[in-house]
Amino acid sequence: MAMARLTATVPLAEMADQVDKMMIKKKSPAQIVLLSIIAAFLILSEIAAVFFPSTITPTERLDYAARDAAMRLRGTQAVDERIVIVAIDDFSLNYENNTWPWSRAYLAEIVQTLNQAGAEIIGLDVFLFEEDPEGDAILADAFVQSPKSVNLVQLFVDHQGVNTLKLPRPEYENVFDSLGITEIQLDDDAVARSIRAYKYDKVSQKNYFNWAIEVARLSQNASPISQFSSTNLKLSNEEIPLHGTHFLVNFRGPAEAYPIYSAAQVVLGDYPAENFKDKIVLIGATSVTLQDVYPTPFSSQIRTSGVEIVANTVDSLLNQNYLRVVPPWVNLLAILLAAFLSHLITRTSRPGLAISLMFASIFSYGAIYYFFFSQSGLYLPFMAPETMFFLGVIMPTLEQALAQEAEKRRVRNLFSRFISPEMVEQLISTQDISSLNKRSNITILFSDIRGFTTLSEQLTPDGVVSLLNPYLDVMTKVVHKHGGTVDKYEGDAIVAFFGEPVHYEDHALRAARAALDMRLALVKLTDQWEKAGVLPPDFIFDIGIGLNSGDVFVGLLGSEERVNYTIIGDNANLAARLQDLSKGYGWSMIISESTNEAIKDEMETEFIESKLVKGKSEAVKIYKLIGYKAK
């Protein structure tokens, strides 16, 4: 080939760089950014929950559901047999048209019956604010005869900001052993999980504790509570945990878990006295019509009466079945730990394994969460770390999978024209791009167009391109068909090799078949050109091909700007020399002795001579490649 050869090396720099980023680095910057954003969002949510307690974050709401699920999974627990309920139920309200509100005299009958039965403590969940001239004295006298009794106060701030305290009627002054507030706390999802532990009256400068706490205190014969804060209070030298001045109720079960006796039937004497002897008896409404029923962790549909929620509270206090919530810093630590574990999980290059490890982590943490709750009543943070596990693995893994798939398609589309599909797949699938650099025994094919310099001088630049591009396209497809790799185009010359990056033991045969098919493809191509009148008159479009087999270096070579997957070695140079010699021998396909030895069982060849070629100190045997052997 006489014309100057313009090297058109395959621009593999970008591909090598992208493959390296895609396959060697297990976590891209985008994945780390995603992980950081998720962790930062969850941490900020936890911080917001601390500084803005009135604002419920998404994770807090889901944490409520997790706590309820854990309580339901634990199931119904045995209740304290000392606690019973006398119910203002539908039967009592309908008995002899005994509609609400009941007279104080009728309430006195209930109290007197319980006194006679030997009740230890009677708690009345009924406000005694309004006057009942005929019944107040009777009810007060009944409670004077009770060993211990508790009633209610109401402490609230009205719409004008005025602090208001409502106490029982003066007739009951010094009658009850204690008075308490009766606030049941509804969380943001309208489920009752706690009671208000205490409230401060600015006017009297006195703290009033929940009547459930007062019932438990009287049962233990404890002194009035004097040590308390927003996180705990002391009762009988026992430190009771509070959650922002609220006591978390450890529900023993759904509605009607405690013995419930109808108030009307108590008055009628339908129950034996031993049902109430030495018991804590709580009198309160259970009828839905009196609207003192609430959703609880066990059920939002079948509601539990306020008096039974008090029964659960008293049970928790008497038996030290406390529920605790870990401090906020534990939530932050759990998120960071989950983020770190997610980072480790996503370092795997197998998305399926990453997802499996993620679900294993989620279920394992769920088991840990339930263990701490069931064994010690401790609520760990749940939704924030679980969300961190889920999103911290799913989002980076999804981003990695999408990025890899997009990059694979881009690499295939861009470079399948220049290199064999096998090489593209190997570059994509390899875990170490440096493994492509090696010494290997392969077969090199060097082809050149005869007299293309003369032809190019007779054609316009567009004419040169219209001939050369279809030619290179057809020949490249032939090389790829036989598993070869196009190293480079040097003007009208093609350098290709067989046996790498996917190694074939029959690489010499593949190269020989490719050479024969290139000749056949050229015949079809020139026929098309002649019919189209593209070629100049009397010009014979022909090519020369040289084949040689031997050890060469194969690998990625170049600078940071341009890299080529190429071959280097004396055996590569010999293939080029053989192609040049084909002109003198008048035969288009010339092969070396090493290639001949590898293909002679299948191909027809003919020895030409031993010749000293440029770059060799000893003569090499040269053969013609004629075609397939007859079968």
pLDDT of residue 326: 87
Instruction: Enumerate long-range contacts of 348-355, CB under 8 Å, 24 or more apart.
Output: 348/26, 349/23, 349/26, 349/431, 351/397, 351/400, 351/401, 354/393, 354/397, 355/393, 355/394, 355/397
Distance CA(219)–CA(217), nearest Å, equals: 5
Start-to-end CA span in the chain (Å): 37
Return the bridge partners of 606, or none. 624
Q: 590-613 pLDDT, tens per residue?
A: 999 999 999 999 999 999 999 888
Count of C-beta atoms within a 10 Å radius of residue 564 = 18
- The answer, yes or no, to whether residue 179 has pLDDT greater than 80, is yes
* pLDDT tens, residue by residue, 505-521: 999 999 999 999 999 99
pLDDT > 60? residue 395:
yes
pLDDT at 586: 87
Other CB atoms within 10 Å distance of the CB of residue 415: 20
**In the chain, domain spans:** 24-69+326-411, 81-315, 418-628
pLDDT band per the 50, 70, 90 thresholds, residue 3: very low
Query: Of 280-284, 316-320, 395-399, 503-507, which gets the smallest average pLDDT?
Result: 395-399
Domain 418-628 has CATH 3.30.70.1230: yes
The residue ranking higher by pLDDT, 224 or 386, is 224
